């Protein structure tokens, strides 16, 4: 008889451990998707702001018209003097492939690299 009461007690005890709030204990993780739109690339709104922020103005003017580096990234005309479409630009912004630009700084975001690469592959259009 003791075994029966023990078995019933265990069933009741184990049944009381049931948790019907599984979703509160183990919520579905929130996934943040960062999209990088490279379907419509504009030199004026996508590319030049990247260069201004990282290369030609805010980064000690390393690649401005007045710099001694010999590479001006401050305007479309300057960028198109053989630098954007000959592959040098793409190598330099992809760390490990070229000169690791911005020099002494952190690598551009993957989105910025993708935008510049797409723009260069489209021929560096001035739009």
In a domain, 21, yes or no: no
Contacts 24+ apart (CB under 8 A), 61-66: 62/102, 62/103
92, 117 contact by CB (below 8 A): no
Instruction: Tell me the residue range of the domain where 48 lies.
Output: 43-121
In a domain, 19, yes or no: no
**Number of domains into which the chain is organized:** 1
For residue 63, the model assigns a pLDDT of 76
pTM flag (> 0.95) = no
In a domain, 106, yes or no: yes
In a domain, 115, yes or no: yes
In a domain, 101, yes or no: yes
Percentage of the chain exceeding pLDDT 90: 11
Under 8 Å CB-to-CB from 39, ≥6 apart: which residues? none
* Mean predicted confidence (pLDDT) in 106-121: 90
In a domain, 30, yes or no: no
User: What distance in Å separates the CA atoms of residue 118 and residue 27, rounded to the nearest whole number?
Assistant: 38
Under 8 Å CB-to-CB from 73, ≥6 apart: which residues? 51, 55, 56, 63, 64, 79, 83
Cis peptide before 114 (omega within 30 of 0): no
Percentage of the chain exceeding pLDDT 70: 69
In a domain, 34, yes or no: no
In a domain, 70, yes or no: yes
Q: Give, in order, the Cα–Cα distances in Å from 29 to each of 8, 21, 32, 34, 57.
A: 38, 16, 10, 16, 40
Convert the pLDDT of each residue in 29-82 to its tens digit. Answer: 777 666 888 888 999 999 999 988 888 665 456 776 766 677 778 788 888 876
For the chain, what's the residue count?
127
127, 43 contact by CB (below 8 A): yes
Average pLDDT of the residues of the chain: 77
């Amino acid at each position: 008889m003791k075994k029966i009461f023990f078995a019933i007690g265990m069933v009741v005890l184990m049944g009381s451990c049931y948790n019907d709030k599984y979703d509160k204990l183990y919520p579905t993780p929130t996934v943040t998707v960062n999209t990088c739109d490279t379907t419509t690339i504009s030199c004026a709104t996508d590319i030049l702001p990247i260069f201004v922020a990282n290369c030609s103005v805010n980064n000690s003017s390393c690649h401005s018209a007045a710099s001694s580096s010999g590479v001006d990234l401050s305007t479309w005309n300057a960028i198109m003097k053989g630098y954007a479409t000959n592959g040098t630009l793409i190598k330099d912004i992809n760390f490990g492939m070229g000169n690791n630009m911005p020099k002494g700084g952190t690598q551009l975001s993957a989105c910025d690299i993708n935008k510049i690469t797409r723009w260069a592959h489209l021929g560096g259009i001035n739009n």
